[in-house]
């Protein structure tokens, strides 16, 4: 079993059983697992973080209308479907060193959450990131109105399809 499949099983178990799951008790009763694209090696990259000379302070809107503060520290470029895509990389002002890539791609809203998905790339060098779209996940506001989630800014809206990671969330009643 691949590490990704094992991780997905652990995440589904967390959603189903853990007290800190984003699901309500009613949702947990009928939850059978999240929906995912098959593992896609073509969307796993080691990329240069092209740092901006001056990180910009950004206030990202959230699903509840408030704002969250980030630093826009740089950008990444990667190939997808015979084109080069660019995404901005943000760093939390509350947690320096933790990178965040909110994005929307052409699979939304039919296959993936319309407001976008998230990635948390791993730093593997001073200016090098491991970016694995197989780990793209839905924000917790997908699971209930009690959550407030940053909305990906316009600059992180891709025309390309990113067929990796989590798909739309659906609860299926037991048959």
3-state secondary structure of 155: helix
pLDDT score at 174: 54
pTM (two decimals): 0.93
- Partner residues linked to 130 by β-bridges: 46, 122
Q: Are 145 and 138 in contact (CB under 8 A)?
A: no
Per-residue pLDDT of the chain (175 residues; tens, 9 = 90+): 689 999 999 999 999 999 999 999 999 999 999 999 999 999 999 999 999 999 999 999 999 999 999 999 999 999 999 999 999 999 988 888 899 999 999 999 999 999 999 999 999 998 999 999 999 999 999 998 889 999 999 999 999 999 999 999 987 655 5
Q: Tell me the residue length of the chain.
A: 175
Answer whether 170's CB lies under 8 Å from 110's CB. Answer: no
The answer to whether the CB of 16 falls within 8 A of the CB of 30 is no
């Amino acid at each position: 079993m691949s590490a990704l499949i094992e991780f997905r099983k652990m995440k589904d178990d967390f959603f189903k059983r853990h007290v800190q799951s984003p699901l309500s008790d009613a949702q947990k009763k009928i939850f059978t697992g999240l929906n995912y694209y098959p593992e896609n090696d073509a969307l796993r990259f080691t990329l240069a973080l092209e740092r901006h000379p001056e990180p910009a302070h950004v206030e990202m809107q959230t699903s509840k209308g408030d704002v969250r503060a980030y630093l826009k520290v740089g950008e990444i470029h990667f190939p997808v479907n015979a084109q080069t895509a660019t995404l901005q990389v943000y760093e939390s002002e509350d947690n320096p060193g933790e990178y965040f890539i909110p994005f929307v791609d052409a699979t939304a809203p039919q296959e993936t959450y319309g407001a976008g998905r998230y990635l948390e790339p791993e730093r593997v060098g001073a200016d090098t990131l491991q970016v694995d779209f197989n780990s793209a996940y839905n924000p917790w506001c997908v699971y209930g109105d009690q959550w407030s989630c940053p909305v990906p800014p316009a600059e992180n809206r891709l025309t390309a399809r990113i067929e990796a990671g989590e798909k739309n969330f659906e609860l299926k009643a037991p048959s």
